[in-house]
Amino acid sequence: SIFGSGIMVLDKERSRVLVIGGTGHIGKHIVAASARRGHSTSVLIRDVAPSDPAKMQLLKSFIDSGVALIKGDLFDHGSLVNAIKGVDVVVSAVGPRQLVEQSRIVMAIKEAGNVKRFLPSEFGSDVERVHTVDPAATLYAGKLSLRRLIEAEGIPHTYVCCNGFAETYLPSIGDVTAVGAGPPSDKITVLGDGDAKAVFVVEKDIATYTVRAVDDPRTLNKILYMRPPANIVSHNELISMWERKAGRTFQIVRIPEAGLLKLIKGTSIIDPVPRHVYGVRTWL
């Protein structure tokens, strides 16, 4: 991280922040972090009165923390421009299905003409430093194309590369075939030999440093890497830590590279296994 023990915001007044995709997994943390840090924060929302009770509760928590809900849609150019005209910084946290549609945000930012910083939905590995296969390769190509578009349009930006989401992958002890199932009861699936290193960062911390970056001149037109040294572990090391804590050993089921390629062939990035392999892609 480029941040030391403290971070200095040069402006007395913090930027106004708009989050697009603010009800998603990482987006909700970014909204909360922005509000906590004292930014005037708004969220672009398609439906301000959703039927889903959980989403309704999330929106209520936003309102209670002083966040403004702005009715609009990624596919409604006019609503995008209007929302963007009222802020200084746009943070996109859209999910895999909408990554390629972020060009719409770029065009709206260009038309609005007032944005000091755009943070597109990256929140993974640096797309210019990875080598992968489909379905992840197509996703990376889309992110890379968006970077080039942002730069070609002269939009001030910061790319956040935070690696793996700790709260997503650590509960299953890194088993990408069992994400969401909690700690293993008897066996753990390991990709490859299990010795490759991966980086895990807690989502709340990712959001905190993302928000800190928006007003920091050192991150302007730069890539922000989050790689806490103590959070860099191999799958084998992670399993050993859990075995010591649990006081027992687990059966290890290893999937070699050829087996993994066969497993994900013909799948979509939104399917569970390839999506989570993409999330801890350095374990190969």
Catalytic residue among 12, 55, 116, 143: 143
Sequence-distant (6+) residues with CB within 8 A of 119 are 89, 90, 91, 92, 157, 158, 159, 160, 210, 213, 214
Amino acid residing at 40: S
Both tokens of 238, joined, read 């992670």
Sequence-distant (6+) residues with CB within 8 A of 166 are 200, 201, 202, 203, 231
Is 197 one of the catalytic residues?
Answer: no
Question: CA–CA separation, 188 vs 177, rounded Å?
Answer: 9
| Long-range contacts formed by 270-278: CB under 8 A, 24+ apart | 270/96, 270/97, 271/135, 272/179, 273/176, 273/177, 274/135, 274/136, 275/96, 276/168, 276/169, 276/176, 276/177, 276/179, 277/136, 277/176, 277/191, 278/124, 278/132, 278/135, 278/136, 278/139
Indicate which residues carry an active-site annotation: 143
